Structure 1
Amino acid sequence: MKLEDILQDPAEVYKKPQDVLADSDLTDAEKCKVLAQWKYDAEELQTATSENMPGPDDSLLDDILAVRKKLNCKD
């Protein structure tokens, strides 16, 4: 799958952030881009939820941040 497609919705491609880490088709820099997009999406979901807009209960933000740390991703 192309990076551009993955960046559209990382949660659609990967079940959990650790799956990005295990994807041997991506470079570390590409993995960081995917995780940055997923982080943005998770933060937006948290904002919407805090504003009483319903969304999924499960936020993966902590997992995303942990994997980004393992990869030494820079913002």
Structure 2
Amino acid sequence: MKLENILQDPAAVYAKPQDVLGDANLTTEDKCKVLAQWEYDAEELQTATAENMPGPNDSLLDDILAVKKQLNCDASK
């Protein structure tokens, strides 16, 4: 699957953030981009939930951040 398609909705492609690690078709940089998008999506969901807009109860934000740390994604910034 192309990176552009994955970035549109990472949660539709991967069951959990750890699955991004095992995707041999992505470079480390690409994986960091996917995780950054997924982090943004999870934060938006938390904001919507905080504003009493219904959404899924389980946020994967902690898992996303753990995988980003494992890949050392923020080191290149």
Give yes or no for TM over 0.5: yes
In 1, the alpha carbon distance for the partners of 2:37 and 2:57 equals 19
In 1, the alpha carbon distance for the partners of 2:44 and 2:70 equals 23
TM-score, normalised relative to structure 2: 0.95
1:73 maps onto 2:46 in alignment: no
State, as a whole percentage, how many aligned pairs show the same letter: 79
**What displacement does 1:38 show?**
0.0
User: Unaligned 5+ residue runs, structure 2?
Assistant: none
TM-score, normalised relative to structure 1: 0.98
Q: Give the letter aligned to residue 54 of structure 2.
A: P
RMSD: 0.7
- Partner of 2:27 in structure 1? 27
User: Unaligned 5+ residue runs, structure 1?
Assistant: none
- Partner of 2:6 in structure 1? 6
In 1, the alpha carbon distance for the partners of 2:28 and 2:11 equals 18
Following TM superposition, the consecutive aligned residue runs of length 4 or more in structure 1 with deviations greater than 6 angstroms are none
Secondary structure of the equivalent of 1:56? coil
In 1, the alpha carbon distance for the partners of 2:55 and 2:29 equals 30
In 1, the alpha carbon distance for the partners of 2:47 and 2:22 equals 29
Tell me how many residue pairs correspond in the alignment: 75
